[in-house]
Amino acid sequence: MTSAKSAAAPLIAYTDGGCRGNPGPGGWAFLLIDPASGEALERTGGEPHTTNNRMEYLAAIEALRALKAPQRAVRIHSDSNLLIQSVTEWMPGWKAKGWKKKGGPLKNLDLLQELDRLVAGLSVTWQWVPGHAGVPGNERVDQLTNEAMDRVESGSDPNWEQRRTWRE
């Protein structure tokens, strides 16, 4: 017999990160959707001096941290091949080598280790989506990321959150 929790459709997350200059002012955003109810959470943040890669990783980290039911499956959509390949392909090798790569130390080791910690024991599926191609969830997080970068550049707080209804 299948329990209601395990039979529930996976949560859907869209994540994005960006930077104006690299390094420069950056922002991240996620959209976390319960497809059964249409309830969604949008959240943003940013940093005044960062890199695009850090913001992409941080968007996924913050989406995973926002899970209230960590036993529920989640499908994360991202237009960052680096993020997806880091978690799905390269991470096992880095861990086996003591969190190092062939050419030397890993960049963003703190965020990679946090991603590894957060996905441990979760059912996470990673899905690449093309950027700026009309995928509504991806377009939304791109917009939110840019708004977060605008707030960083203006000296405002980039942290923002909204609950809303979202239908895929």
Residue 113 forms part of a structural domain = yes
Residue 2 forms part of a structural domain = no
Distances (CA, A) of 163 to 32, 106, 166: 10, 36, 9
Contacts of 89 (CB under 8 A, 6+ apart): none
pLDDT for the residue numbered 121: 81
Domain range holding 142? 10-165
Instruction: Using alpha carbons, select from 127, 119, 148 the residue that is nearest to residue 29.
Output: 148
Q: At what angle do helices 136-154 and 52-65 cross, to 10 degrees?
A: 110
For the stretch 74-123, pLDDT in tens is: 999 999 999 999 999 999 999 999 999 888 889 999 999 999 999 998 89
For the stretch 25-62, pLDDT in tens is: 999 999 999 999 999 999 999 999 999 999 999 999 99
Residue 51 forms part of a structural domain = yes
Residue 4 forms part of a structural domain = no
For residue 72, the domain's CATH number is 3.30.420.10
Catalytic sites, residue numbers:
16-17, 56, 79, 132, 142
Which of residues 117 and 5 earns the better pLDDT score?
A: 117
pLDDT of 148 above 70: yes
pLDDT for the residue numbered 63: 97
Residue 1 forms part of a structural domain = no
Confidence of residue 72 (pLDDT cuts 50, 70, 90): confident
Domain tally, the chain: 1
Residue 128 forms part of a structural domain = yes
Helices assigned H by DSSP within 23-135: 52-65, 81-85, 91-96, 109-119
Q: What would the two tokens of residue 60 be?
A: 């996924």
User: Residue 58 and residue 16: Cα distance in Å, rounded?
Assistant: 9
Q: What would the two tokens of residue 88 be?
A: 């799905």
